[in-house]
Amino acid sequence: MEDEQAVSREELITLIMRQLSAYGYSDLSQEIAAHTKVPVAAVGSSRLEELVALGLRSEGPAAASDADMRSVSESGGIDVSREHHVLAQAPQYIVWYKTKHKGAATTAEFSRDGRYVATGSTDASLKLIEVDKVRSPAAGSARREDKPVIRTLYHHEAEITGLAFHPNGLVLASCSADHTIKLFDLSVAYGKHSFQSFRDNYAYRSIAFHPSGDYLVAGGDACEVRLYNVRTGRAYLLGAGDSPDLARHSDTITRVCYSANGSLIGSASRDGSIKIWYGVSGKCVRTISRAHGGKAVTGVVFSRNSKYILSTGLDSRVRMWEAASGKLVQTYEGAVLDTASVQAVYSHDEALVMAPDSKSSEVVSWDAVTGTLVARGADHKQRITWIAASPTTPALMTCSVDECVRFWCSDSM
């Protein structure tokens, strides 16, 4: 039995090389390949880190309890239980860059290192923007060769509904109303078409990569949350072994997300509920019913420490919940949130919660801990359809029905 379960020398060395590449040590990975004669792992992955974490947890007592969920939370990040809190100040955002699609701009996503931001549109195109080429208005016009849009991608046949960067930053995934998810290799010069795709009988609305990059979670106009193995293409349904009342939402999925360490998956639905799933087993461990008074939940995102989950609903409220208990810890009010794709986000430092007001066409900012509305800004002439916050700097990308995407940054940068 032990021989059957043993990992071969080549498999283990490949896992080590992929983990080193994920940490940014690609040169060291290549040296190991040269010394061991094992083919170099081209794409970084945190699979080894995940397996070690699972092994360490399996050595302790196993119990499917709220304590298990608390254990996945990492230190640091937002914590509403801190006694002393200074009210956050929202930056004064100004437009540093604007570009245009040929249809309403629908979605945007930053890479995890903040180097790139991608946008999508009803015209079925994607734009890839290199953030370092976005210049302050005070710096003057950029040279033609320094234009921020470095790639325009085509391969969908309908509206782009969601985007996700692979953790290595070299692959961009997009989902669409054309019932497909497509993966684009950004390392290929001038490549405009995808190298891999997944198809379903329903439109996709949201996707997210596991931190290892090996899995992609997806939700859409079906009631089930799907999980894809990126390397094999095999699809799984979350909660397949659960009872019917736990295994699925009762209406379409509006948003899916992973926690920062991949231990949890969150999903939101038009049925008014939020579900939290174990990332490894796919088991539903918590359902927050009527999270927004029975109205559709249109957005969901974990805090970086995985302690909280932020939801957006068509009751025009943003709410923050304790992931381990499902307890409501804060409500954010004062914006009109009445569109099917609206989602609130955390700022780069999680000091603020931000959402687009569909009535005033402004970005509304609240202090994340107290729920105090602290600013309105980044105003548009037409409705904002999406906002994405940079993970590294006080910057935003906004999408609008006016077909434009705008990169906003603090005037102090």
Q: What is the dihedral sign for C-alpha 175, 176, 177, 180?
A: negative
Asked whether 176 and 203 are in contact (CB, 8 A), the reply is yes
One-letter amino acid for residue 348 of the chain: H
Q: What is the mean pLDDT of the segment spanning 329-353?
A: 96
Confidence band, pLDDT 50/70/90 cuts, at residue 156: very high
Least confident of 73-87, 155-169, 174-188, 278-292: 73-87
Least confident of 52-56, 68-72, 345-349: 68-72
Name every residue whose Cβ is closer than 8 Å to that of residue 19 and which is 6 or more positions away in sequence. Answer: 44, 45, 46, 47, 48, 49
- What local confidence, expressed as pLDDT, does residue 192 receive? 80
* Per-residue pLDDT tens digits for 207-264: 999 999 999 999 999 999 999 999 999 999 998 767 666 668 999 999 999 999 999 9
Q: Looking up tokens 């499902």, which residue turns up?
A: 326
- What local confidence, expressed as pLDDT, does residue 273 receive? 98
Higher pLDDT, 177 or 14: 177
Tell me the C-alpha distance between 168 and 311, whole Å: 27
Percent of the chain residues past pLDDT 90, beyond the cut:
68
Characterise 272 by phi-psi region: left (phi > 0), alpha (psi -120 to 50), beta (else): left
Confidence band, pLDDT 50/70/90 cuts, at residue 61: very low
Residue closest to 209 by CA, chosen among 176, 152, 168: 168
- What local confidence, expressed as pLDDT, does residue 394 receive? 95
pLDDT at 144 over 80: no
Tell me the residue length of the chain: 413
Name every residue whose Cβ is closer than 8 Å to that of residue 24 and which is 6 or more positions away in sequence. Answer: none
- What local confidence, expressed as pLDDT, does residue 245 receive? 63
pLDDT at 160 over 90: yes
Backbone torsions φ then ψ of 42, nearest 5 degrees: -75, -30
Mapping DSSP to helix (H, G, I), strand (E, B) and coil, where does residue 3 land? helix
Percent of the chain residues past pLDDT 70, beyond the cut:
85
Helix (H) or strand (E) segment spanning residue 26: helix 26-36
* Per-residue pLDDT tens digits for 78-120: 888 777 788 989 989 999 999 999 999 999 999 999 999 999 9
Residue closest to 330 by CA, chosen among 346, 319, 345: 319
- What local confidence, expressed as pLDDT, does residue 64 receive? 39
Query: How far from the centroid of its chain's Cα atoms is residue 385's Cα?
Result: 17
Asked whether 263 and 250 are in contact (CB, 8 A), the reply is no
Confidence band, pLDDT 50/70/90 cuts, at residue 406: very high
pLDDT at 45 over 50: yes
DSSP 8-state symbol, 264: E
